[in-house]
Structure 1
């Protein structure tokens, strides 16, 4: 039985969706899995750079995913949905709520949840590298309220969030790689003493291997949030299918 997955890019940047597709196709075998890609409509922001644009993108995307049953992107046509934005994006909770209400057999995963839970399971010190500075308090607050308050995550493992001071769409530019690498070396690895650096924006997708080679001597693990999110989603789907 073919597994159907929808990868949702909630912003309206088609180039971001192309980058996500390229990364996924290089990493995953598609033999038993059909992956479709959704890009936010024109009413969605071109990039998500904070709380306001997160909400705007949710409002633009949600009706297209849960209301139109004739749409090729209707959520119940898939076994799993990956919301490809590294944040506590409101789309995750909204689609989960609708799925629960309608008893829909679909798994929904966000990049923040899957990445943080992975780091906690492996038990290594981790920090986040993100895009612009506005994300630092947003991500730190999300970690504090969602994972640390109830001791879901070992507080001794969490080291903090670092900004590249770049916009989302600039993270993939080759001319910015050296700047990103220098910030990671100075802040995430040396200052925060991180064993794992979470690439905390979908704009970093595809840079995991290049960064791993750059910091090979340090032994730092760079976590591509798209890759780990998709791996966890596929595992969830397989487990659900095994119960049928």
Structure 2
């Protein structure tokens, strides 16, 4: 898997990226890889995947699940089972402020590491017009994530946790579903709940970018965009950016690898 025209400087070798799914759902990993396949990356990027084994949770729905998944994945990484030394970059594919994002670089300092949450924030900010009133927001799963991700955005942007949000951030809107529900619940119910969350995000106006706040949402961009057409009209909906965090992560870590080469 891979594409593009840039190489990592190792005699023309492709940039080797490991997507780490810290939950134990193989279906979710397959969905993420399918989304990356559609990027048509060519030969300059080689993507591999790791799915956490049991007893990692099948769906990460709260802080306890983040902690449990960290324990399982970090143990594998520390024991060398993930072979991190064979990769240039790693993406933690859980849409959360996941502790693995800060812990993995201590095991493998050569790695460029990001999470899909962090990559999506950077991408959304870049897609807005600089110094404008344009906004971006997150559509996510359960209610827990509204506070967790809102606090995470502040932390990532270096804002006071007790202070106001960035003026460009429209907030987090939940569907009420768990991550695993996107593969198990009837599609009509998934569509309806995702449309409702998208509608609530868009209604205040000036939102130019929507981030899909769950790895399990990979491939559901069309539902968000069709909802946008109903609210904004066809022309504005086509100009709306819909960000998949896994895709954003792949693009970001490739840039991180190159930046490490050029600026050190």
Structure 1 and Structure 2 fold alike (TM over 0.5) = yes
Q: What TM-score, normalized to structure 1?
A: 0.87
- Contact 1:148 / 1:154 at 8 angstroms: preserved in 2? no
Q: Distance in 1 between matches of 2:256 and 2:165?
A: 23
For residues 134-189 of structure 1, what are the alpha-carbon distances to aligned partners after superposition, in whole Å with 9 as ceiling and x for unaligned?
111111122233325269x981101111110111112355222133123312x110
1:152-231 correspondence to structure 2 within 5 Å: 155-172=166-183, 174-175=187-188, 176-185=190-199, 187-191=200-204, 193-216=206-229, 217=234, 218-219=236-237, 220-231=240-251
1:109-120 correspondence to structure 2 within 5 Å: 109-120=114-125
Q: Distance in 2 between matches of 1:204 and 1:29?
A: 21
Q: Distance in 2 between matches of 1:28 and 1:93?
A: 29
Correspondence for 2:145 among 130, 135, 141: 135
- Contact 1:54 / 1:89 at 8 angstroms: preserved in 2? yes
- Deviation (angstroms), 1:211: 2.8
CA RMSD of aligned residues (A): 2.3
Q: Distance in 1 between matches of 2:165 and 2:67?
A: 29
Q: Distance in 1 between matches of 2:90 and 2:19?
A: 6
Q: Distance in 1 between matches of 2:59 and 2:115?
A: 17
- Deviation (angstroms), 1:210: 4.6
Q: What TM-score, normalized to structure 2?
A: 0.81
User: What SS is found at the alignment partner of 2:49?
Assistant: strand
User: What SS is found at the alignment partner of 2:119?
Assistant: helix
Aligned CA distance change for structure 1 residues 132 and 167 (closer, same or farther; 3 Å): same
1:1-244 correspondence to structure 2 within 5 Å: 1-68=13-80, 71=81, 73-99=82-108, 104-123=109-128, 124-149=134-159, 155-172=166-183, 174-175=187-188, 176-185=190-199, 187-191=200-204, 193-216=206-229, 217=234, 218-219=236-237, 220-242=240-262
- Deviation (angstroms), 1:122: 3.3
- Deviation (angstroms), 1:243: 6.3
- Contact 2:191 / 2:223 at 8 angstroms: preserved in 1? no
Dislocated runs of 4+, deviation >4 Å: 241-244
User: What SS is found at the alignment partner of 1:191?
Assistant: coil
Bigger mean CA deviation after superposition, 227-236 or 206-215: 206-215
- Contact 2:195 / 2:223 at 8 angstroms: preserved in 1? no
User: Any gaps of 5 or more consecutive residues in structure 2?
Assistant: 1-12, 129-133
User: What SS is found at the alignment partner of 1:168?
Assistant: coil
- Contact 1:12 / 1:47 at 8 angstroms: preserved in 2? yes
